[in-house]
Amino acid sequence: MATTSLNHERLQEICGSIREQLFRKGTRGLSGVARVFRQADFNRNKKLDREEFEEALSFCGLFLKSHEISFLFKNFDRDNDGNINYNELLHGIQLPLSGARLAMVQSAFKKLDKDGSSVIDVSDIAKIYDASQHPDVQEGKKTEKEIALAFIGAFESGTKDGKITFAEFQSYYEDLGSSIPSDEYFVGMMQSVWKLKPAGAKPVDSSIAKWMTILRNKAQQKTKTGKRLSLTLKSIFGFFDGDESGAVTKQEFSQALVRLGVHINKKETDQFFSFFAGSDGRISTAEFITKMELDD
């Protein structure tokens, strides 16, 4: 029983690593990865041998250690024939929507489903969907028009009836969410795109949510097993607290980000700093840890 639990934990850790790499690359969803896997599947049996699998991962910009790939083959080679079932792997990476994510998807769909029919028109999406808030638009990777057309096209790739059920809407965000490891970032994105605001909560800017996720993951990498993540962040930021006042300046904050391997430009650093800084223009270490909402 304990072995099964450890295997599941290890599997989730590897799948989580894939999700994090997709997130850092700016990849949206698993559709592109699935397409590469299908292209590498020359005999169309929905399986890849180890060499094909590693080449497909490399083409996607995803890199795993040899023992991680061996572990995946052990779990997804159902027939013990030396091939991995990539559809089952993709299903393992794609987590179902739950909690805050599901609540935001339900809220967005309800906003579109004005007549309560549980079916919405593609044309209705175009009237409300705010492509300007999409991460790829904010980062200058794509135009608003490109994002809007791609978003609508995702629902029109199957039956082109101009109608979207909640199951289709949810499926879209399950795929998209596969490359977003942070609930905060996912929620912030939904709030921005659909102009949603949970009762009593202030929307979190999607860029800040993204930087928080990267910062949290960077700190996690530097945290030894059994050690609290908050202690890692305290020690890193404490190193730059020259006067030992329990707070850091903007310059010290910027240096701490570089120390962690978080590279953002000056404007973004100012925005991120302002998110945490108090009225004295400095960040209290204790307040920073609290606002990061660490679950350790």
Looking at the structure, do residues 214 and 257 belong to the same domain, yes or no? yes
What is the tally of structural domains in the chain?
3
Q: Domain range holding 169?
A: 99-194
In a domain, 13, yes or no: yes
In a domain, 199, yes or no: no
CB 177 within 8 A of CB 95: yes
Distance of CA 33 to the CA centre of its chain: 15
Output phi, psi for 34, to 5 deg: -60, -40
- Residues 94-126 have pLDDT tens digits of 878 878 889 899 999 988 888 888 888 877 777
Contacts (Cβ under 8 Å, ≥6 apart) of 114: 124
Contacts (Cβ under 8 Å, ≥6 apart) of 189: 133, 134, 135, 180, 206, 209
In a domain, 187, yes or no: yes
Of 7, 3, 27, 25, the C-alpha closest to 76 is 7
Element (H, E) at 121: strand 119-121
Q: Distance (Å, rounded) from C-alpha 212 to C-alpha 292?
A: 7
Q: Indicate whether 157 pLDDT > 60.
A: no
In a domain, 62, yes or no: yes
- Token pair, residue 275, equals 């998110």
Q: Indicate whether 64 pLDDT > 90.
A: yes
Looking at the structure, do residues 79 and 166 belong to the same domain, yes or no? no
pTM: 0.57
Looking at the structure, do residues 218 and 177 belong to the same domain, yes or no? no
pLDDT value of position 281: 82
Element (H, E) at 163: strand 163-165
Q: Which of 80-89, 187-196, 230-239 has the highest mean pLDDT?
A: 80-89
- Token pair, residue 85, equals 């079932």
pLDDT value of position 37: 93
In a domain, 200, yes or no: no
CB 80 within 8 A of CB 92: no
Domain boundary among 173, 194, 215: 194
Strands 283-284 and 119-121: unpaired
- Residue 232, Cβ neighbours under 10 Å: how many? 20
In a domain, 201, yes or no: no
pLDDT value of position 1: 41
Of 188, 229, 190, the C-alpha closest to 209 is 188
CB 49 within 8 A of CB 42: no
Domain boundary among 194, 226, 245: 194
Report the share of the chain in percent with pLDDT over 90.
12
The CATH number linked to 215 is 1.10.238.10
More confident residue, 148 or 275: 275
In a domain, 254, yes or no: yes
Domain boundary among 40, 69, 93: 93
Segment 214-219 mean pLDDT: 78
- Token pair, residue 169, equals 């809407």
In a domain, 266, yes or no: yes
Q: Which of 136-145, 240-249, 259-268 has the lowest mean pLDDT?
A: 240-249
